[in-house]
Amino acid sequence: MSGRVPSGRALVIVGPYLWLLLFFLAPLAIVLKIAFSEALIAQPPYAPLFARSSDGALTIQLNFHNFLFLVRDDLYFRAYLNSARIALIATLLCVVLGYPVAYGIAHASPAARNVLLMLVILPFWTSFLLRVYAWIGILKNNGLINNLLMAVGIIDQPLVMMQTDFAVYLGIVYSYLPFMILPLYARLQRLDHTLWEAAADLGCRPHKAFLTVILPLSLPGVVAGSMLVFIPAVGEFVIPALLGGPDTLMIGRVLWDEFFANRDWPVASAVAIAVLILLVAPITVLQFTHGREAER
Amino acid sequence: MVTEDSTMNDPRPRLAAGIRPAPDEPAQPYVRAEGVTRKFGEVAAVDDVTLEIYRGEVFCLLGGSGCGKTTLLRILAGLEPATTGRVLIDGEDVTGTPPFRRPVNMMFQSYALFPHLSVRNNVAFGLRQDGLPSRQINRRVASMLELVKLGPFARRKPHQLSGGQRQRVALARALVKQPKLLLLDEPLGALDRQLREEMQFELINIQQTLGITFVVVTHDQEEAMTLSSRIGVMHAGRIVQTGTPTQIYEYPRSRFVAQFVGSVNLFEGRVEERAPDHVLIASEKAGCTLAVEHVAQVAVGAPVAVAVRPEKLVMAHEPPGHEYNHIPAIVDEVAYRGGLSIYKLRIATGHTLHLTQPNRDRATVQRPAAHDAVFVSWHPASGVVLDS
């Protein structure tokens, strides 16, 4: 002990750290523990990791079977890849759709800007689950879109939209678009408009000024928004479960099935840990390299 | 020095001899704005401005905030459309030409450096747009960085530079394309006083080295005087007077110009007598008859104002020999500024005069002090007659 009196600053920091320790790190440790134990038909459905043998010595039984199983059965790897693919495409769609919206809001008049920002945030007033449910009513065979198109006479057969990848993309893009727009807006709004003028003045046509000046400068916003969309989209369970078909393979659903249908907690935990490592590792690297860039 | 008379009569703008290059072809303006108006809603920020700028000169647009000087500059750059009127550069009508096709570059007040690019790439940006071969770009960027003394900083990013260095990057970036016209919006406004004075001379040196025509927007009259070959004084969207710094200062054509550029003592009065070489003006405010030489058209009886600069006033303890332009006064306040002193004098009619006097001798010489009774006078050639 250094014997120093804890300063106010330390006290302020202790709160969040304690919170993270109790509600993030401890549960994670439990999941990690379960991932290394053996499945049992019991309550709880896994074997204890630590045990006392007959001579009283403490033994630790680490079981790598669960992870080996993930590697052997290619279902998990396919589900992971498919999740990453869907999340990536959805993220790109969010960038393409969100960038013009963010740009438009950033350049609107201050009064209009507040209204537009409000509109972006407005969906959060309704539960996420309800909003995804609402899409079923819109997309299903006798739903809003099909009924409308048939009434007008554009189609005679309902378009199959529910339980397709299309519906999953739609759900993810719809749900996560605000998380792309808001950080992008924050970034674009800070950019000095005279940079456009300076580029034009130096002989740059508008589209090139965008590509060489505005886009590079807004990249931190794109990266921040992409993180906020990609990470939750990879592990998304509700959207593929409600809107996707049986063949929409996503890791979140696999995990759910392992946990609740198969009651194989150790494998489910191993899946969770594996996804965490496969997601966290590349993103940490990205954040580290990008964070140094953005420090300026 | 150019004599006052020749600057008055010569229609061609004269530059202080030996300091700046004379304009190439005085009869042929290089840049012309014809009846340029820019309206924002009902308000005309720039109101029917016609302006001629000659090749190789430094032309200053001088005015207070909101007078439309920056808007006029932006119209020349093509960043702001003119509601009506035309802009010609080197004989070519560029009124509808977008900024990226104009042979004009601008140095922005905020500098508008690209924060993600190094100094070198900022300067090279304009040349890259022209698709020049990279060897040529490198050479021109290097020599430009040399000129603005930024060679060692080529790899730095703008945020790693001081304010003065950023200002040089902005200047280099705008100059490297060798535009026909360089527009500078308050180029030295963000610098502290000492650096600003240093940069004023450096800016002139660079301008002369390259021979590029400059249009400078400033609200600082001293800066305008130091930098420019000619000044256009702007007020409420209009150019109220154009001329050399000497013309603007010594022969203001309106009360606005007289008061905006430098300080001035104004005496309202009526023309009493017209002689071939001078007029006499009776002024109640001055409490005496004022004589002014070199006056153009004024009718007898017309209400006018006589403007006299504070440094043109002479102060003495004894009454002067001549008949006109002398007023007895009491010294109210003295502000000692080192090189010169500023006196506030109260005259019999109750008005206050401002007088400045260089402190040529040490304080051993007796200078008027507060409450002293003195006589103020000035030469008839020192006053200017203005419309009342």
Residue in A closest to B113 by C-alpha:
A195
* Complete domains list, chain B, with CATH: 4-103+179-258 (3.40.50.300), 263-387 (2.40.50.140)
pLDDT at B53: 92
Residue in A closest to B123 by C-alpha:
A202
Query: Is A202 within 8 Å of B116 when comparing Cβ atoms?
Result: no
pLDDT at B7: 40
* Gap from B355 CA to chain A (nearest CA, Å): 44
* Gap from B207 CA to chain A (nearest CA, Å): 19
Q: Give the helix/strand (H/E) hosting B357.
A: strand B352-358
pLDDT at A59: 76
Query: Is B129 within 8 Å of A197 when comparing Cβ atoms?
Result: no
pLDDT at A294: 53
Task: Judge whether residue A170 has pLDDT over 80.
Answer: yes
Query: Is B108 within 8 Å of A200 when comparing Cβ atoms?
Result: no
Q: Best mutation site among A194, A202, A210 for testing chain B: the one with the most B CBs within 10 Å?
A: A202
ipTM value of the model? 0.79
Quick one: which of B289, B255, B251 has its CA closest to B273? B289
Query: Is B112 within 8 Å of A195 when comparing Cβ atoms?
Result: yes
Out of A46-55, A75-84, B275-284, pick the least confident.
A46-55
Q: Cα(A229)–Cα(A179) distance, rounded to whole angstroms?
A: 6
- Which two tokens mark B252? 């203001």
pLDDT at A51: 74
Task: Judge whether residue B21 has pLDDT over 60.
Answer: no
* Across B71-91, average pLDDT: 92
Q: Best mutation site among A196, A201, A214 for testing chain B: the one with the most B CBs within 10 Å?
A: A201
Return left, alpha or beta for B85; rule: phi > 0 is left, psi -120 to 50 is alpha, else beta: left
pLDDT bin (cut points 50, 70, 90) of residue B12 is very low
Nearest to B100 among A205, A212, A296 (CB): A205
Query: Hey, is the C-beta of A194 within 8 angstroms of any chain B C-beta?
Result: yes
pLDDT greater at residue B8 or residue A24: A24
pLDDT at B19: 40
pLDDT at A293: 57
Average pLDDT of every residue of chain B? 86
pLDDT at A58: 78
With b meaning 16 or more CB within 10 Å and e meaning fewer, what string describes A27-55?
Answer: eeeebeebbbbebeeeeebbbebeeeeee
* Across B55-67, average pLDDT: 91
pLDDT at B18: 37
Query: Is A192 within 8 Å of B110 when comparing Cβ atoms?
Result: yes
Query: Hey, is the C-beta of A111 within 8 angstroms of any chain B C-beta?
Result: no
Residues of A in contact with B79 (CB under 8 A): 197, 200-201
pLDDT, one tens digit per residue, over A266-293 is 999 999 998 888 887 777 787 777 666 5
Nearest to A202 among B79, B105, B157 (CB): B105
- Return the ∠ at Cα B165 (arms to B160 and B168), rounded to 5°: 135
* Gap from A295 CA to chain B (nearest CA, Å): 11
* Across B43-65, average pLDDT: 91
- Percent of residues, chain A, with pLDDT higher than 90: 48
pLDDT, one tens digit per residue, over A86-142 is 999 999 999 999 999 999 999 999 999 999 999 999 999 999 999 999 999 999 988
Query: Hey, is the C-beta of A216 within 8 angstroms of any chain B C-beta?
Result: yes
Out of A35-44, A181-190, A202-211, B182-191, pick the least confident.
A35-44
Q: How many CB pairs under 8 A join A and B?
A: 63
The torsion of the CA quartet A261, A263, A264, A265, rounded to 10 degrees, works out to 120
Residue in B closest to A206 by C-alpha:
B100
pLDDT at A130: 93
* Across B103-108, average pLDDT: 93
Which residue type does B156 have?
R
Which residue type does B200 have?
Q
Which residue type does B47 have?
D
Average pLDDT of every residue of chain A? 87
Task: Judge whether residue A3 has pLDDT over 70.
Answer: no
Task: Judge whether residue B98 has pLDDT over 50.
Answer: yes
Residues of B in contact with A205 (CB under 8 A): 100
Task: Judge whether residue B8 has pLDDT over 60.
Answer: no
pLDDT at B142: 93
Query: Is A296 within 8 Å of B105 when comparing Cβ atoms?
Result: no
Contact between B137 and B124 (Cβ < 8 Å) = yes
pLDDT, one tens digit per residue, over B241-283 is 999 999 999 999 899 999 998 889 999 999 888 888 888 898 8
Query: Hey, is the C-beta of B173 within 8 angstroms of any chain A C-beta?
Result: yes
Q: Cα(A96)–Cα(B85) distance, rounded to whole angstroms?
A: 41
Residue in B closest to A220 by C-alpha:
B116
- Listing DSSP states for B234-246 in one string gives EETTEEEEEE-HH
* Complete domains list, chain A, with CATH: 73-263 (1.10.3720.10)
